[in-house]
Structure 1
Amino acid sequence: MDLTLLYRGPLASCDYDCPYCPFAKRRDTPAQLRADRQALDRFTTWATHQTDDTLSILFTPWGEGLVRSWYRRALADLSHLPHVRRVAIQTNLSCRTDWLTEADPATLALWCTYHPGQTPYDRFLTKCRDLAAKGIRHSVGVVGLPDHLDHARRLRADLPGHVYLWINAAEGHTYDDASAADWTALDPLFPYSRHPHRSAGLPCRTGESVISVDGEGTVRRCHFVKAELGNLYDGSYREALKPRACPLAACDCHIGYVHLETLPLYDVFAGGVLERIPTAVARAAG
């Protein structure tokens, strides 16, 4: 079976405090961090022994995972497993990058977000260039707020040409055609992010070949549908996997709507769905 897993454990702490972030950040206690580490170790052990399947794994923590050693170790270890096709994580790239020498660059990938005001621009850009020099697959993006436009333009000019710069529509922000054109000039795929996608009753790969997993091993079709399909560790989720329509009215997050079968995004991002790298960009880099 080819299975894509979106893993989100209990980690909620972040070293950034972005005012536009929709998630309530907190500082995890030592006990909470231990629980997160144990949950991740359990998931990594499960994935290591799941040799009858081909796995693609995206870590989508509420907080910042790569400042924690157990996330860096998990990514490096999983990247060397022959049955893991891709392992990726969403990150603000505030961590050091020397650990990447322990990972397999053919399998590991990073989905990086630049947050103006949270880190010096030159520091972030230097790390992006280091990723490119190490041959690490990565995309880089910015939240599409008006105050971020000049930052995004500067980033596009300074990044290597083969690195895809994506723009996320800011939650609750409305884009007129002129402002949308500004963002689309930087990211030709911005129109997919500009408006929520109608999804009610439409076929989606989540719940069939894509699942969401939390720290307890509870399996849901995606992060946005709360109905449980079973548990990862007792295998009860397996019998629930089947084609199914989306029960929600709309989907407005890339990690959700990218899996809608009514959108062409599996072709647009073929080979780079988890790390958000379009096929055309990947070919140019190759």
Structure 2
Amino acid sequence: MDLTLLYRGPLASCDYDCPYCPFAKRRDSTAQLRADRAALERFAQWAAARTEDHLSLLFTPWGEGLVRSWYRRTLVDLSRLPHIRRVAIQTNLSCRTDWLAGADRDTLALWCTYHPGQTPYDRFLTKCRDLTMRGIRFSVGVVGLPGHLDVARRLRADLPAHVYLWINAAEGHTYTDAEADRWTALDPLFPYSRHPHASAGLPCRTGVSVVSVDGDGTVRRCHFVRTPLGNLYDGSYLDALRPRPCPLAACDCHIGYVHLETLPLYDIFAGGVLERIPAPARAPRAERAL
């Protein structure tokens, strides 16, 4: 079986204080961190044992995972297993990068976000350059707030040409056409993020070849549809894997709408869906982003 799993455990703490994030500077207790570590280790053991399957794994913690040793170790260990096709994580890249020396560079990838005002620009850029030197595949993104435009332009100029710079539409922000054009000049795929995608009744890969998993093993079709399909660890989710239309009116998050069958994003991001890296042969162009 080929299966993509988006894992989100109980971790909800972050070392940044972004004003647009509800988990900014939140601190998990020692007991909460222990619970998160145990849940992650259980998931990793399950994934390691599924040698008859081909798995692709994206870790989407509410907080920052890579400042925790158990996330770094898990990514390295899973990347070295032959049945794991991809292992990726969303990160603010505040952690050190030397741990990547033990990872399989063909399997591990990073989805990095730069948060202006939370870390010095040069420090973030130095880490991006280190990733490039190590041969780690990664994308870099910025939330498309008006005050972030200049630094996003600076990033695009300073990053290697092959590193995709994505722009997420800011939640609750309405863009004029002129504003959208400025962001699209940096990220030709920004129009996909600008407006929520009508999804009700449309076919989606979630619930078939893509599922989300929480810390206790509850499987759902995606992070945004709360109806459980079963549990990962007792296998009860397997009988529920089947095509079904999206029950929501709209989908406005990349980790959700990228799986809609009505959008061409699996072709655009072929080989890099989880880490948000377009295929080289399908470099994004503004006129293709509808």
Range class of TM-score, shorter chain: over 0.9
Name the stretch that deviates more: 17-26 or 225-234: 17-26
Amino acid at match of 1:196: P
> How far off its partner does 1:236 sit?
0.4
**Residue aligning to 1:261:** 261
* 2:36 aligned with 1:39: no
CA contact (8 A) 1:25 1:63 kept: no
Cα deviations by residue, 1:142-184 (Å, 9 ceiling, x for unpaired): 0000000000000000001110000000000000000000000
Name the Cα RMSD after superposition.
1.3
Cα deviations by residue, 1:217-244 (Å, 9 ceiling, x for unpaired): 0000000000000000000000000011
Cα deviations by residue, 1:187-213 (Å, 9 ceiling, x for unpaired): 000000000000000000000000000
SS at match of 1:244: coil
1:204, 1:75 → 2: CA distance? 27
1:2, 1:268 → 2: CA distance? 20
Percent identical among aligned pairs is 83
**Residue aligning to 2:185:** 185
CA contact (8 A) 2:268 2:283 kept: no
* 2:92 aligned with 1:76: no
CA contact (8 A) 1:12 1:62 kept: yes
**Residue aligning to 1:93:** 93
Structure 1 residue ranges without an equivalent (≥5): none
SS at match of 1:75: helix
SS at match of 1:90: strand
1:181–1:282 CA distance, 2 compared to 1 (3 A): closer
1:21, 1:28 → 2: CA distance? 16
**Residue aligning to 1:230:** 230
CA contact (8 A) 2:17 2:24 kept: no
SS at match of 1:275: coil
> How far off its partner does 1:26 sit?
2.0
Structure 2 residue ranges without an equivalent (≥5): 285-290
2:144, 2:209 → 1: CA distance? 31
CA contact (8 A) 1:164 1:281 kept: no
SS at match of 1:245: coil
**Residue aligning to 1:137:** 137
SS at match of 1:140: strand
Cα deviations by residue, 1:215-272 (Å, 9 ceiling, x for unpaired): 0000000000000000000000000000110000000000000000000000000000
2:139, 2:27 → 1: CA distance? 27
> How far off its partner does 1:282 sit?
8.4
1:282–1:97 CA distance, 2 compared to 1 (3 A): farther
CA contact (8 A) 1:109 1:137 kept: yes
Cα deviations by residue, 1:83-131 (Å, 9 ceiling, x for unpaired): 0000000000000000000100000000000000000000000000000
Q: TM-score, normalization: structure 2?
A: 0.96
> How far off its partner does 1:21 sit?
1.6
Cα deviations by residue, 1:3-23 (Å, 9 ceiling, x for unpaired): 000000000000001001255
1:260, 1:24 → 2: CA distance? 30
**Residue aligning to 1:7:** 7
1:283–1:151 CA distance, 2 compared to 1 (3 A): closer
Amino acid at match of 1:206: T
Query: What is the 5 A alignment of 1:274-285?
Result: 274-280=274-280
CA contact (8 A) 2:197 2:251 kept: yes
**Residue aligning to 2:128:** 128
Query: What is the 5 A alignment of 1:149-160?
Result: 149-160=149-160
2:15, 2:134 → 1: CA distance? 25
SS at match of 1:207: coil
* 2:197 aligned with 1:197: yes
1:22–1:264 CA distance, 2 compared to 1 (3 A): farther
1:59, 1:81 → 2: CA distance? 17
Q: Provide the aligned length of Structure 1 versus Structure 2.
A: 284
CA contact (8 A) 1:139 1:166 kept: yes
